[in-house]
Amino acid sequence: MSAQDVHGHDDHHHDDGPHSTFSGYMWGFVLSIVLTAIPFWLVMTDIIANRSTAVLVLGAFAVVQIIVHMVFFLHMNGKVEGGWTMLSTIFTVVFVAIAIAGTLWVMFHMNTNMMPMHPQGVQHGAP
């Protein structure tokens, strides 16, 4: 065991990370189990007939569980690092949303926009 260095004031400027608690981890663990079990059960019992409804429900469960992990396991809040952690996370979430939604949007509209469907639109001898 190493000797703890003595601090004259607050002990919040060394790199030991945030303070964890047993109850915090257990809350995160139990919530994660519930939020994992329900989607698996929904899919395995084939309870939702409509595919798009199922996709929305599963997506919602995933988002909630990701937030649970961020709060209970990664100790996210608006105060750590003067808010820069939170800000960079929000930036990443926006970036990821644009990247994924934008990709799907473009790729699933590509055929419509790239291939003229009216008969006069067919180009002959285009370079």
Partner 1 sequence: MSNPHLNAGGTAALATREYHLAHEPHPENGTALGFWLYLMSDCLIFASLFATWGVLGRNFAGGPNGAELFDLTLVALNTAFLLLSSITFGFAMLRKQVNDKGGTLLWLAITGFFGLCFLAVELYEFHHLIHVGAGPQSSAAMSAFFALVGTHGLHVTFGLIWLVVLMIQISKHGLIHENKRRLMCLSMFWHFLDVVWIGVFTFVYLMGVL
How many chain residues bind partner 1 (CB under 8 A)? 56
Note whether 61 and 72 are within 8 A (CB).
no
Contacts of residues 94-101 at CB distance under 8 Å and 24 or more positions apart, as own/partner, are: none
Q: What is the DSSP letter of 93?
A: H
Of residues 82 through 111, those in contact with partner 1 by CB under 8 A are 82, 84-85, 88-89, 91-92, 95-96, 99-100, 103-104, 107-108
d(CA 52, CA 38): 17
Burial class (CB in 10 A: 0-12, 13-18, 19+), 126: exposed
In the complex, least distance from residue 114 CB atom to partner 1, rounded to whole angstroms? 15
The yes or no reply on residue 62 touching partner 1 (CB under 8 A) is yes
Query: Residues interacting with partner 1, by CB under 8 A?
Result: 1-2, 4-5, 10, 12-17, 19-22, 25-26, 28-29, 32-33, 36, 39-40, 43-44, 51, 54-55, 58-59, 61-62, 65-66, 69-70, 73-74, 80-82, 84-85, 88-89, 91-92, 95-96, 99-100, 103-104, 107-108
